[in-house]
Amino acid sequence: MKSMILAAAVLLISLPMMAQNNVTVVHQDGLFAQALAFSGGTSIDLNVSRGSEASGQAETFLFFDSFQSTPDSFIQTFASGQIPDGSLQGDDPAHVVFDVDTSQLTNFSSTTCTFSFVTFTQTCGPSPAGLIHVEWRQTQASTTHTNSDIKQTFFLGQIHTHQVSDTASTTLTGSFFGLDMSSGGGEVGVNHGSTIEIIK
């Protein structure tokens, strides 16, 4: 029964999203790191990368999506935007450190939506701001060369990624808005002429 409710919720939330057309295109070249974790009942997908915006100006870009299911609702946060270059440290991918306080970001968008299984209503607003600190350490358990074209649809947006990269697996430490990231895993590496298109 709950899976049918969740399917209906996804459809209801996806319909308004289809009408939106706020598109951000980022060209990714150089260092990047991705973290996937499940902590405190919340799944977290975070990606930070060096690159340039459409005008060619260098930038460091952050995207994250988090999802939490409760007995009577689910909560999703979808965030993306430019961050200070100094937030991402470690031009040697063997050890990468990411630190940011989202309350200090000016060119960054973060939205949280709660969908109630009780009232079948959706409430959206700006996400709470806070601290993210993540460290990646390569394990070399696996290395990957990727040449892919992927389209992902989230409840609050879509991502189209064309990626050419070389990566290695990592362990994680740190926290995401107070949630422990050490149970997760990730990868760090180098993008080569990749692009990410975010539609919200």
Q: Give the count of beta carbons closer than 10 Å to the beta carbon of residue 163.
A: 19
**Model confidence pTM above 0.85:** no
Rounded Cα distance between 69 and 54, Å, is: 36
Are the C-beta atoms of residues 82 and 53 closer than 8 Å to each other?
yes
In order of 138, 152, 186, 199, the CA distances from 157 in angstroms are 30, 9, 22, 6
Are the C-beta atoms of residues 130 and 102 closer than 8 Å to each other?
yes
| Cross-strand bridge partners of residue 10 | none
- The range of the structural domain enclosing residue 67 comes to 2-199
* Mean pLDDT confidence for 164-179: 95
> Could you tell me the pLDDT band of residue 187, with boundaries at 50, 70 and 90?
very high
The whole-number pLDDT of residue 167 equals 92
The whole-number pLDDT of residue 1 equals 37
Domain count, the chain: 1
**If residue 64 lies in a helix (H) or strand (E), which one and from where to where?**
strand 58-70
3-state helix, strand, coil in the chain (%, to 5): 10, 70, 20
- The burial of 136, by beta-carbon neighbours within 10 Å (0-12 exposed, 13-18 middle, 19 or more buried), is given as buried
* Mean pLDDT confidence for 31-59: 91
